[in-house]
Structure 1
Amino acid sequence: MAFTFAAFCYMLTLVLCASLIFFVIWHIIAFDELRTDFKNPIDQGNPARARERLKNIERICCLLRKLVVPEYSIHGLFCLMFLCAAEWVTLGLNIPLLFYHLWRYFHRPADGSEVMYDAVSIMNADILNYCQKESWCKLAFYLLSFFYYLYRLFLQPCLHLPQPQPTLSLGPIFYVAWRSPAPPPRPFVTKYE
């Protein structure tokens, strides 16, 4: 069994992809919490809870912001590793999400103080729906990627097995037969030795 740099990349990617799945699940739970808090009719008319709700929203947005750069960095590391390992198909599958992450990072709010998930703008129903759909799509992508990386990890040693050499067989029909080399001859041993 050969241990190559590509196999190492797939092993590291499996572990990091599991962490990305947990990041995205946390995003989905946080957005669902914001949505249910936004739609709660009991607290809408209670001014005493308004300050507490605002602090809760700011806390959730602060935690969401802390996960953005690690998620983008880990995914960028995936692409860099697969580029160095010359895993072109895997790199091609990851490039669209990398471009989306770059676009999303460089098109953050104009003031530049926040990466994204501002406490005021996140409560807009359209933005909240967009963020939740984005998280569900990322979860699907990371889950499919996880199983693809697992498949490629187990397939990787099989790709580097020594291949049998072709031998030319001249029979009634000329063809090239693929067969393994013959075993070495056994030494002649008599019964009485």
Structure 2
Amino acid sequence: MAEVLYWISTFVLILTLLCILGYQLILLVDLEFDYINPYDSTSRINQVVLPEFIIHGIFCFTNLIAGHWFIFLLSLPFLYYNLRLYIKREHLADVTEIYNKLYWEKKKRLFKVGYLVLVFVFSIVSLVWTLAEDVH
């Protein structure tokens, strides 16, 4: 039963992170096409940055406690990157620099989405592997 709860929580955490990043990407694209002003865009992005970091920390901690080392080690560089951004105070979008950094901000979030999709695929493979071991 604990293994089932682990997999459900893992999938919920990954999908939540993907939704948060998708929301940020939509805001950046809206800003690029001038559908939203820079102040609203950056304030909305900044509201979800810290929850994104916390959810990813919970995801890493869950994998560490559950003993799923491969997924934990796979998500550890992403946690390090988020922690480094937070320590350097570079995690928030600046309203005065958002147009200058728009291309970089979009690329950064697209890379995070690709990374999370990779982790999600490995989680599914690990789930199937675990279920196959339980059958035999």
State TM-score, norm by structure 2.
0.88
User: 1:19 is matched with which residue?
Assistant: 16
Deviation of residue 86 (structure 1)? 1.4
Contact 1:14–1:146 (Cα < 8 Å) also in 2: yes
Deviation of residue 149 (structure 1)? 1.6
User: 1:154 is matched with which residue?
Assistant: 128
Mapping for residues 6-155 of structure 1, pairs under 5 Å: 6-37=3-34, 56-108=37-89, 116-124=92-100, 127-155=101-129
Q: 1:14-64 CA deviation, whole Å, 9 max, x = no partner?
A: 0121111111111111111222229xxxxxxxxxxxxxx7xx211111110
Contact 2:71–2:119 (Cα < 8 Å) also in 1: no
Show structure 1 runs of 5+ residues with no match. 39-52, 110-114, 163-193
Deviation of residue 161 (structure 1)? 5.3
Amino acid at match of 1:96: P
> How far apart in 2 are the matches of 1:97 and 1:26?
19
* CA RMSD in angstroms, aligned pairs only: 2.0
Q: Equivalent pairs: percent with the same residue?
A: 26
Higher strand share: 1
> How far apart in 1 are the matches of 2:55 and 2:7?
13
> How far apart in 2 are the matches of 1:74 and 1:119?
25
State TM-score, norm by structure 1.
0.64
Deviation of residue 118 (structure 1)? 1.5
Deviation of residue 13 (structure 1)? 1.1
Whose Rg is larger? 1
Show structure 2 runs of 5+ residues with no match. none
Higher helix share: 2
